[in-house]
Amino acid sequence: MRRGIARAAFMVSAREQMTTIIASHYVSAGQLADRLAMGPDVRRSLGYFFERWDGTGLPDGSAGDQIPVEMRIVHLARRRRGPAA
């Protein structure tokens, strides 16, 4: 019974939890970009890594042209290599 309740609670809060995890990823990636002196445009683009063209991504549900072209190219390259990439 407890296991079922825990699963249900996770399902209710899954998107919120994933958003928190992604925010942590964005902070880490941004710090790395800064350390490598990659510039503010690279750092900004990293925030769209988990966004999707159809708006179903995280953290903000950005869609289409809201996603920087550089990150759209990354998305296409990842898709081309397959899900394990």
- What long-range pairs does 21-24 form, CB within 8 A, spacing at least 24? 22/50, 22/58, 22/59, 23/59
Residues 6+ apart with CB under 8 A from 18: 58
Q: In this predicted structure, what is the pLDDT of residue 60?
A: 87
Q: In this predicted structure, what is the pLDDT of residue 54?
A: 95
Q: What is the pLDDT of residues 32-45, one digit of tens each?
A: 999 999 999 998 99
Which is more confident, 66 or 85?
Answer: 66
Q: What is the pLDDT of residues 44-84, one digit of tens each?
A: 999 899 999 999 988 889 999 999 999 999 999 987 765 55
Q: CA 50, CA 62: separation in Å to the nearest integer?
A: 10
